[in-house]
Amino acid sequence: MRELFEVGKLYFVPQQPKDFAGHTDGMVRFLGNNTVIINNHSKEKLEFQSTFKIALDNTVLDYIEIPYNPYGEKAYGQANSDYINFLQLQNTVIVPTFSIKEDETSA
């Protein structure tokens, strides 16, 4: 896979429960060369939390955990409270808001 993607390093993380597409972009995102942003998965099953943290620890990357709370949504496929869908412009990060209490935590 490294040859196919033409990269030096390739990291694997477990699929998030209920994510029908298996996208990592809703779970983890690079902020710099050695730092990633991750969602706070404290409301997920312990097995997933553990597996995800082990995968992150194996990367030797630093990570910053941000709020994440899609659990009250009527349809799990919505991206409400998925702050990891931010826009990064050099030294500026623009984070979406959703008119929920987690908005204050992410500011």
In this predicted structure, the answer to whether residue 27 has a pLDDT above a threshold of 80 is yes
Q: 3-state DSSP call for residue 52?
A: helix
- pTM for the model stands at 0.78
- The verdict on residue 12 lying in a domain is no
Structural domain of residue 55, as residue ranges? 23-106
User: How many angstroms separate the CA atoms of 100 and 79, rounded?
Assistant: 13
Query: CA torsion sign, 69 to 73 to 78 to 81?
Result: negative
- The verdict on residue 17 lying in a domain is no
- The verdict on residue 57 lying in a domain is yes
Looking at the structure of the chain, the number of domains it has is 1
- The verdict on residue 5 lying in a domain is no
- The verdict on residue 53 lying in a domain is yes
pLDDT in tens, 74-106: 555 566 678 888 888 888 888 888 888 888 875
Taking phi first (over 0 means left), then psi (-120 to 50 degrees means alpha), and beta for anything else, what does residue 60 get? left
Residues 6+ apart with CB under 8 A from 14: 48, 51, 52, 55
- The verdict on residue 6 lying in a domain is no
- The verdict on residue 11 lying in a domain is no
- The verdict on residue 16 lying in a domain is no
